[in-house]
Every structure is written in structure tokens, then in C-alpha cells.
Amino acid sequence: MNLKPNPAPRLAIVIPCYNESEVFPFCLREMGDYLNDMIRQNLVQAESYILFVDDGSRDDTWQQISAAAKEHSFVRGLKLSCNKGHQAALLAGLANATQADAIVSIDADLQDDINAIGRMVQSYMAGHEVVYGVRASRQTDTAFKRTTAELFYRMMTFMGVKQVFNHADFRLLSQRACAALLEYHERNIYIRGLVPLVGFPAEEVFYDRKERKAGISKYPLRKMIALAMEGITSMTVSPLRLITFVGAGIGAISVLLVLCAIAYWMLEGYVSGWSLVIIVLFFMTGLQMLSLGIVGEYVGKIYLETKERPRYHIERKEGFPVNHPSAPA
């Protein structure tokens, strides 16, 4: 692959925030110091900046972002009118990260190693337009989280979804790759599944995940399951095909059981086993309800997509240039 080298970019670092009052001061200080270090090393240009996106926080996260944008020239703030979820907030940040040659997205909790950003920029300068931040291991996770995460990635791969193993939303996109990503207009957003569809030269940068600096995780089990469901239903129709195969398999087994019952009746003169009938009845009823639920998920997604509702609304901006264009939702 012949890559075209890029000069040191104007870098935008997009950081979605939701109720991050406790961790924001740590994030601002560490990200600001690291950005200034990269500027001094001529790794990025002096016009580089950090864009904090407040996803309808209920604490004073926005007040801190607004104050930081007024105090520091390298800070910009974007406030959504209400909580729209991590993926929508991240998309809003990407859409408004203009005047940048490359855009890095990272969470505010500082669990992702910010030192990997420098290596991402170097990969960009070598010609890569998509650089994935990939966890080197999951040893810091609980056994349950590690097992379920690996199971999810393997399941998505089995269903034909292109997704980088152990990669979340810590990545670098060139402006061209970001513009291509924003051309996907679906409302059911699963960004880590959409980015590989964009194409362009890509590379992986490995790092070790750290403990959260402060505050509590904004992704409990309930939200993790919801994100997994979003990823599956927005990226593949394999569950619908699975219903067809399961139905065909059960039909074949039913025919076989009928033939066995007929043979038993011909040999013994009777067929017993009402308990078996009840078990089969409950099994089939449960399977039908599950199948209807899966179909309903897809029908619901189609229903929401046809409405074409905005994915977010921007309430306020801080630190942006006066002539900064408003990106569409």
C-alpha cells in the first residue's frame, strides 16, 4: 500500500461528557498539558484544540466547560439541549470539529491512555486516515465484563459485522474520513461499526487501559446491553435469518417426532406423554415470543428511521470562532 504522508495536522480532540463534574478538572488539565506538549514538539499545529460535548448533563459539567472555554483559547464547548446518548454526543462533536485536519475522539474518564494520541498522530502523518485505539489486554476488567465483551465481539464477527476487536470509541479520523462517516444518516447509531465501512487506509495503535480518575462509570450493565442491541440491530439482519433457520430446524424435528409417534402407535397401540406435550408447548410459545421480539426490534428501528428526526439539538456553543458554521444534526 502506497501511503501519502501528511504534514503535522491541526488536531481536534472530541470528548463527550455526561455528568462528569468530578473528573472534568483532571481531564482538562491532563489533556491540555498533553496537547501543549504535542504543539511544542511540532507534532500538531498551534491551532489545535479540545472540543468538550456536554450530553445534557444534570450536574455542573457545562458550567465547567463554559468557564474553561472562556479561560483557555484551546478549549471549545458544545452543549446539547438534552441527553441523547454517548453515540449521538460523539457524532455531534465530530460534525462540529471543523478547522481541523485530524480528529481524535476519547472519553472524559481518562481510562484510555492519552499518550497513544501522539502515536495516532504519527500514524496519520505516515498516511493513515483512520487510526484505531485498541486495548492491548482486558486484565483490568472483571471476569464477567471481560467474558461478555469478548463474546460480543466474536458474535458480531460471526454475524458478518466489520468491527475492530477490543476497540471502543478511541480513534483518529482524518477530515476526509470524518466527512465520509457523517454521510451515514441513520438515527440508530453504532459508530464503531460504521467506521470500518468508511474504508481509507487504517492502522491500529495498542495501549493499556487505566482506572477511572474520578466519578462513576456512565456505562452500567443496562447501557452496555442496550449498546450491544443497537450494534446488532443497526449493523446486521443475521438475527432475522437465524429465526428462519431455527424455524426450519424445529419443523424438521417436529416431522421426525410425528413419524416416531406413528411408529410407536403402530407397535404399541397407544401414545402417552402429556407432560412432554406441555413442555413442547411452552418451548414453542417462548420461541415464538422471542422471534416476535426480534422482529419487533427491527420494525421499531424502521419506524424510527422513517421519522427522520434530528439526532440531537445544540443549545449553546463556547469558544468557537464567530464565523463557525452550524453543523446539521
Average pLDDT for the chain: 79
Helix boundaries (H) for 269-315: 274-307
Same domain (yes/no): 78, 149 = yes
Whether residue 3 is contained in a domain is answered as: no
Instruction: Identify whether the C-beta of residue 171 lies closer than 8 Å to the C-beta of residue 134.
Output: no
Q: Which domain holds residue 295?
A: 238-307
Pairing of strands 11-17, 49-54: parallel
pLDDT above 80 (res 86):
yes
How far the first Cα of the chain sits from its last, in Å, is 35
Q: What is the tally of structural domains in the chain?
A: 2
Q: Is residue 104 located within the same domain as residue 43?
A: yes
Q: Shortest CA distance to 23 belongs to which of 136, 106, 103? A: 106
84 and 119 part of one domain = yes
To 10 degrees, the CA torsion angle through 174, 176, 179, 181?
A: -70
130, β-bridge pairs: 173, 202
| Banded pLDDT at 138 (limits 50, 70, 90) | low
In 3D space, the residue among 81, 158, 88, 155 whose CA is nearest the CA of residue 304 turns out to be 88
Query: Do 139 and 264 fall within a single domain?
Result: no
Q: What is the 3-state secondary structure (H, E, C) of the chain?
A: CCCCCCCCCCEEEEEEECCCCCCHHHHHHHHHHHHHHHHHCCCCCCCCEEEEEECCCCCCHHHHHHHHHHHCCCEEEEEECCCCCHHHHHHHHHHHCCCCCEEEECCCCCCCCCCHHHHHHHHHHCCCCEEEEEECCCCCCCHHHHHHHHHHHHHHHHCCCCCCCCEEEEEEEEHHHHHHHCCCCCCCCCHHHHHHHHCCCEEEEEECCCCCCCCCCCCCHHHHHHHHHHHHHHHCCHHHHHHHHHHHHHHHHHHHHHHHHHHHHHHHCCCCCHHHHHHHHHHHHHHHHHHHHHHHHHHHHHHHHHHCCCCCCEEEEECCCCCCCCCCC
135: pLDDT confidence band, cut at 50, 70 and 90? confident
Q: Do both 117 and 94 map to the same domain?
A: yes
Tens-digit pLDDT profile for residues 145-159: 667 767 777 777 776
What whole-number distance in Å separates Cα of residue 246 and Cα of residue 254? 12
pLDDT of residue 103: 94
If asked whether residues 107 and 184 sit together in one domain, one would say yes
Helix axes 221-235, 143-158, angle to 10 degrees: 10
pTM (predicted TM-score) = 0.73
In-domain check, residue 226: no
Residue 168 sits in the same domain as residue 296? no
Residue 4 lies in a domain: no
Determine what percent of the chain is predicted with pLDDT higher than 90: 21
233 lies in some domain: no
Q: Is the pLDDT of residue 275 over 70?
A: no
**Which among 56-65, 160-169, 249-258, 300-309 has the top mean pLDDT?**
56-65
- Residue 328 forms part of a structural domain: no
CATH label of the domain that carries residue 112: 3.90.550.10
Q: Is residue 1 part of a domain?
A: no
Task: Among 88-97, 164-173, 179-188, 301-310, name the most confident range.
Answer: 88-97
**Residues 98 and 15 grouped into a single domain:** yes
In this predicted model, what pLDDT tens digit does every residue of 108-127 receive, in sequence order? Answer: 888 888 899 999 999 998 88
Check whether residue 252 and residue 151 sit in a common domain.
no
pLDDT of residue 85: 82
Q: Which of 313, 91, 124 lies closest to 192 in space, CA to CA?
A: 91
Q: Is the pLDDT at 247 greater than 80, yes or no?
A: no
- Residue 273 resides in a domain: yes
54 & 79 share domain:
yes
- Does residue 227 lie in a domain region? no
Judge if 210 and 100 occupy the same domain.
Answer: yes
Same domain, 149 and 36: yes
